[in-house]
């Protein structure tokens, strides 16, 4: 496809997604600008990130360091600087690479990972934003903390100079009404904001369940498929 063709395609899907977010905000009695769209660009090329940025998308997310670091370098070489979110499982040996381009790390779910990030960022001028990933189904295989681990990991992040605890992130469990799961997340997010003033980001909602997430207080929705199209690989 030509660049102009792809641009028109992305502009149309972006309009549809923004419309969905606006409607969901209206239905929830929240102001239309209460929710930030994060475009999940995994498996799609740097050229798509550049087109989306040109269409006004400010935040993009990636889930694999190798792909993300190359893509970020290509985008930055064009003088474009979106806010990069890292949303994938993060191995401790990838921490140094990820903090080289990421502005927000959404998938911190262990004290050990928080510690590795804290050591790697100790000399940064401005702290990096961290969201603690919450498991809404208690299945540790899918990432995220459960129970009091939320507070153990949050304390580890909050006590690191190079990190700023910004809030929570979650993925809706399979096989459950996403609204019920996001309602539980909303309770935890409320407790976090009381415990750590300023930690008010709630990253929840994907292409299939953004309306439920907005209803239960998401401040950021992470949209891949509805914006960019179906991914070839299963991730
Ligand atoms: C891929 C991914 C998304 C986007 O999912 P879509 O269903 O394509 O919108 C959101 N969050 C995370 C953590 C992802 O890995």
Task: Convert the pLDDT of each residue in 9-22 to its tens digit.
Answer: 999 999 999 999 99
- Cα Rg of the chain (Å, integer): 17
Residue where the block lists tokens 């949050």: 154
Structural domains of the chain in order of their starting residue, each with its CATH number: 3-227 (3.20.20.10)
Which residue from 37, 9, 13, 11 is spatially nearest to 25, judged by alpha carbons? 37
- The residue nearest atom 7 of ligand 1, judged by CA position, is 207
Q: What is the pLDDT of residue 142?
A: 80
Q: What is the pLDDT of residue 194?
A: 97
The structure tokens listed for 68 are 């993300």
Q: Distance of CA 4 to CAs 45, 51, 118, 213, 228, Å?
A: 15, 9, 43, 33, 15
Q: What is the pLDDT of residue 3?
A: 87
222 C-alpha to ligand 1 centroid (Å): 6
40 C-alpha to ligand 1 centroid (Å): 6
Q: Looking at ligand 1, which atom is closest to the CA of residue 227?
A: 9
Q: Is 171 in the pocket of ligand 1 (CB under 6 A)?
A: yes
Q: Is 206 in the pocket of ligand 1 (CB under 6 A)?
A: yes
Q: What is the pLDDT of residue 233?
A: 63
Q: What is the pLDDT of residue 228?
A: 97
Q: What is the pLDDT of residue 234?
A: 52
Q: Distance of CA 131 to CAs 48, 50, 185, Å?
A: 26, 25, 13
229 C-alpha to ligand 1 centroid (Å): 12
- The residue nearest atom 11 of ligand 1, judged by CA position, is 222
Those residues of the chain that have pLDDT short of 70 are 233-235
85 C-alpha to ligand 1 centroid (Å): 12
């Amino acid at each position: 496809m030509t660049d102009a063709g792809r641009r028109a395609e992305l502009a149309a899907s972006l309009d549809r997604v923004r419309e969905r977010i606006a409607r969901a905000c209206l239905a929830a009695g929240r102001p239309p600008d209460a929710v930030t769209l994060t475009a999940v660009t995994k498996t799609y090329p740097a050229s798509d990130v550049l087109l989306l940025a040109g269409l006004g998308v400010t935040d993009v997310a990636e889930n694999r360091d190798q792909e993300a670091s190359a893509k970020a370098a290509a985008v930055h070489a064009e003088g474009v600087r979106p806010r990069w979110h890292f949303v994938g499982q993060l191995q401790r040996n990838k921490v140094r690479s990820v903090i080289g381009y990421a502005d927000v790390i959404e998938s911190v779910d262990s004290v050990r990972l928080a510690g590795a990030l804290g050591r790697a960022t100790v000399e940064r001028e401005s702290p990096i934003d961290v969201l603690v990933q919450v498991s809404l189904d208690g299945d540790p295989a899918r990432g995220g903390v459960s129970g009091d681990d939320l507070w153990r990991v949050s304390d580890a992040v909050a006590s690191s100079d190079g990190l700023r605890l910004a809030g929570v992130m979650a993925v809706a469990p399979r096989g459950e009404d996403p609204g019920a799961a996001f309602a539980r997340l909303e309770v935890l997010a409320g407790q976090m904001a009381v415990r750590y003033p300023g930690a008010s980001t709630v990253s929840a909602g994907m292409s299939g369940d953004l309306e439920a997430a907005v209803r239960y207080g998401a401040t950021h929705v992470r949209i891949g498929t509805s914006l960019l199209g179906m991914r070839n690989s299963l991730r």
